[in-house]
Amino acid sequence: MITFTKKILQNKAYKRIITNILSLFSLQGFTYLMPLITFPYLTRVLGPENYGLIAFATAFVAYFQILVEYGFGLSASREISINRDNEVQVSKIFSSVIFTKFLLMILSFLGLSLIIFSIDTFRANWILYFFTFGLVIGNVLMPTWFFNGMEKMRYISLLNMGTILIFTVSIFIFIRGSADYIYVPLINSIGAIIIGIIAMRIVLKDFKIKFNIPSKEDIKTQLKSGWHIFISNVAISFYTTSNVFVLGIFASNAVVGYYSAAEKIIYMAIGLLNPISTALYPYISSIAVKSKEDASNFIKKIIIFIGSFTFIISIIIFFASGLILNILAGNQFENSIIILRILSFIPFIVGLSNVFGVLFLIALGYANRVSRVQFIVGVCYLFLLVPMTYYLKDIGTALSFLIVESVITLSFWKIYRNVINELKTCSTE
């Protein structure tokens, strides 16, 4: 790792990567710092039970967010990118996507209402779920896919910062005791809706988009183009969103709170990888266009670098889990220590998964193999998660999460080795 770092400092291209990584770290610093402030406050003020209840409601509503998001994040973004110089076509795409998302939102609201008033467990906290549903409305209004397609990413960064700022300030103003837990999702939803409205105004005014009611054919076209991505997103949600939701069905709110606190810390650790991956991906993609063999050689160095970085993070979390939880969550979350230790090596596993799956396979044009693994593993995961959670509660959920991430990483590694062998075979012929 030390030798690799020295080579980076001596190479102009590598220096640019390091500069980009540092820039992204500073750019994301605000959005990363705010949750570190609100998380310790909320866990201490709300306690494990109310914190777990909010986590369950968020996980439940996340399924409706997936439905409303559909596959537009990639499919619509691609269409906007292709037609960005054609104002008429861009307006047509924008109108059809927004209208389709609105229809899906209505369908989601009806589904949410039906579940809430049909099941006693949900009906007991119906206000909480309706307040949380505001996140779905915010999703409809926030056209991230449009800004991606137009390559105006700064809008996304600024708007996300605005959402987080509204949430953070409001939390300290309005959340004073455990009884105020009901207002946490309301604050989150209001922030998302306000920023969504601002985003829509920017799109309509700055980009001169004209909204028109789309035809049935336009709606069908959008649903068809995003279908495969939507199915993939649903499968992925089985091992991302379903953990807290399934646990909430079989365990108490307090147990959900213990698990959610530990998982939150793990996702914070994984978040440290985002700037690195974001900076490396375009560089590796550009190398792959010229030579896949050169890209594969560079990846071998990245495996050592990211592997070492994430392994150190995982080791620290494992041995300092008690201290970390006491600082970030408070002494009420002592039961989370065993969960955090079980999950502690997920940053290392996900780090390698990201290298094999995103930085290598997707960057080199093997995205179909990646999505196939994610879909198969995601569907199979439910058959592991449900019985493990039923019998072992939060420990079973944590073990299931660790197992599924390990299986995905091993699968990506196997495909990575096959591709490397294919490239060697091609170079010798």
Q: Percent of the chain beyond pLDDT 70?
A: 90
d(CA 53, CA 49): 6
* Distance (Å, whole) CA 50 – CA 58: 12
Per residue in 23-39, pLDDT (tens digit) is 555 556 666 677 788 99
Q: Is 379:323 a contact under the CB 8 Å cutoff?
A: no
Query: Given this model, what pLDDT does residue 30 score?
Result: 65
Alpha-carbon gap, residue 270 to 307, rounded angstroms: 13
Residues 398/259, Cβ–Cβ less than 8 Å: yes
Instruction: Average the pLDDT over 221-233 and give the result.
Output: 85
pLDDT at residue number 9:
46
Instruction: Provide the pLDDT confidence category of residue 313 given band limits of 50, 70 and 90.
Output: very high
What pTM was estimated for this model as a whole? 0.86
Q: What pLDDT band is residue 46 in, cutting at 50, 70 and 90?
A: very high
For residue 292, which amino acid is it?
A: K
Mean pLDDT of 219-240: 85
> Does 118 have pLDDT greater than 90?
yes
Q: Which residues contact 380 (CB under 8 A, 6 or more apart)?
A: none
Q: How many helices (H) and strands (E) does the chain have?
A: 19, 0
| 84 φ, ψ (degrees, to nearest 5) | -60, -25
Confidence of residue 421 (pLDDT cuts 50, 70, 90): confident
pLDDT (average), residues 355-369: 84
Contact 159, 31 (CB under 8 A): no
Instruction: Give the pLDDT confidence score for residue 290 in this predicted structure.
Output: 77
pLDDT of 8: 47
Region for 175 from its dihedrals, namely left if φ exceeds 0, alpha if ψ lies in -120 to 50, beta otherwise: beta
Q: Give the three-class secondary structure for 70.
A: coil
Range in 185-189, 250-254, 279-283 with the lowest mean pLDDT: 279-283
Query: Using only C-alpha atoms, what is the Rg of the chain?
Result: 22
The domain ranges of the chain are 35-237, 252-429
The CA distance from 101 to 95, in Å, is 10
Identity of residue 147 = F
Token pair recorded at residue 235: 């499968």
Ramachandran angles phi, psi of 122, nearest 5°: -80, -40
281 has pLDDT over 80: no
pLDDT for 32: 67
16-38 burial code (b ≥16 CB/10 A, e <16): ebeebbeebeebbeeebebbeeb
Query: 């926030």: which residue's tokens?
Result: 142
The mean pLDDT value for 217-240 works out to: 85
Task: Please say if the pLDDT value at position 139 is more than 80.
Answer: yes
* Least-confidence region, from 126-130, 384-388, 420-424: 420-424
Q: Which residue has the higher pLDDT, 314 or 13?
A: 314
The length of the chain in residues reads 429
pLDDT in tens, 140-166: 999 988 887 887 767 777 788 888 888
Q: Which residue has the tokens 């970390």?
A: 324
pLDDT of residue 409: 95
- pLDDT over 70 at 7, yes or no: no
* Beta-carbon count within 10 A of 241 CB: 19
